[in-house]
Amino acid sequence: MPVGVVSDPIFREHDTGPYHCEVGERLAAIDQAISRWDGREALEFMPLRPAREQELATVHHASQLRRVAGTAGRSVSLDPDTVCSPRSCEVALLAAGSLIDLCDAALSGEVDNGFALVRPPGHHATSTRSMGFCLFNNVAAAAAHLMLNRGLERILVVDWDVHHGNGTEDIFYPESRVLYFSTHQSPMYPGTGQVSAVGQASAKGRTINVPMPPGLGDREHLQAFERLLLPVARQFRPQFILVSAGFDGHREDPLGGMMVSSAGFAAMAQRLTEISQEFCPGRVVASLEGGYNQAALGRSVVAVLEALAGRRREDELIAQAAQTDPSTWVDRAMEAAKHYWELP
């Protein structure tokens, strides 16, 4: 079964200008890396389609949708970091809608896992605000679709971007059907993602944040997966796994201060495919978020695609992480989560 991929030159038409770091050349670097990959025959490139207003209205207020729609045909800044060009709204609609269709393809068994190589990214967009390079929250819209239109009751969202996905957390903070798990650098933009943020009402325990100081790498991130995410996920029993796949935690990235390698990202993806095999085979779908060293981004995306296709295993790296002395930062997150989950 092929791995589904959303990729098209139109996603480069969201023009952020000559001095922005979130640029269309990021996708060109990914395309070049995939073209050199000997496993590219395992990919099936999926058709595009724009998200419908009612699909986005499940996670965004009408005023937010109107504000983004009002940028069509114009060059305008929504905040100091988030700019729109004349085609940005069109491109953002295609990003969200194509991710939803990719999830449907994975759910139906048409593809085995998937990766939406789209922009603009999404995980900072809240229900009322575009921010942090993000117009619509692509992953949130996909999760809402799976719940409301496909009847799923347990969706795991994993966010390994170096920045906390404040928008995704905010949208699903009271939602017990979504388990949101984030590893991120702290302190860092947008300043959210504290360990104490665990969800509200019946969703308490459904938000798990692992904020980490700069300088940490593969072992610490994999410890968060091994010691915290895996035991919680096995109790949650996800029916679908969505990934906010940012690669700005890479050790070569100019924005972040983390030390994750391409192999580290592959190991995290491998762990998610293993959870998927237990509870929801073939239903791991990633959506591109950050990553601003273009060479490192291309290598990391291919490494994750290899893991999603079952062509790459990082067992030695995972074993090393398990043997490393426990991380204080993971311990703190476990202390908050143990009130809601059984942890070793």
- Is pLDDT of 119 > 90? yes
How open is the CA angle 208-209-213, to the nearest 5 degrees?
160
What one-character-per-residue DSSP string does 124-151 give?
A: T--SS--BTTBSS-HHHHHHHHHHHTT-
Q: What are the residue numbers of the active site? A: 124
For residue 30, the number of C-alpha atoms closer than 13 Å in the C-beta half-sphere is: 30
- Is pLDDT of 323 > 90? no
Span 121-161, pLDDT tens digits:
999 999 999 999 999 999 999 999 999 999 999 999 999 99
Span 62-108, pLDDT tens digits:
999 999 999 999 999 999 999 999 999 999 999 999 999 999 999 99
3-state per-residue secondary structure call for 19-54: CCCCCCHHHHHHHHHHHCCCCHHHEEECCCCCCCHH
CB count within 10 Å of CB 196 equals: 8
Strands (E), the chain: 3-6, 43-45, 76-79, 82-84, 114-116, 155-159, 178-185, 207-212, 240-245, 284-288
Span 185-206, pLDDT tens digits:
999 999 999 999 999 999 999 9
Q: How far apart are CA 340 and CA 62, in angstroms?
A: 34
- Is pLDDT of 29 > 90? yes
Q: How far apart are CA 225 and CA 235, in angstroms?
A: 14
- Is pLDDT of 322 > 90? no
- Is pLDDT of 35 > 90? yes
- For residue 42, the model assigns a pLDDT of 96
Q: How far apart are CA 119 and CA 94, in angstroms?
A: 9
Q: What rounded mean pLDDT belongs to the chain?
A: 97
Q: How far apart are CA 67 and CA 78, in angstroms?
A: 9
The whole-number average pLDDT for the span 154-173 is 98
Q: Under CATH, which architecture does the 3-337 domain have?
A: 3-Layer(aba) Sandwich (3.40)
In the chain, where the domains are located: 3-337
- For residue 324, the model assigns a pLDDT of 86
Q: How far apart are CA 29 and CA 23, in angstroms?
A: 11
Share of the chain above pLDDT 90, in %: 98
- Is pLDDT of 241 > 90? yes
Asked if residues 217 and 162 have their Cβ atoms less than 8 Å apart, the reply is no
The whole-number average pLDDT for the span 22-50 is 98
Span 248-306, pLDDT tens digits:
999 999 999 999 999 999 999 999 999 999 999 999 999 999 999 999 999 999 999 99
Span 42-64, pLDDT tens digits:
999 999 999 999 999 999 999 99
pTM: 0.98
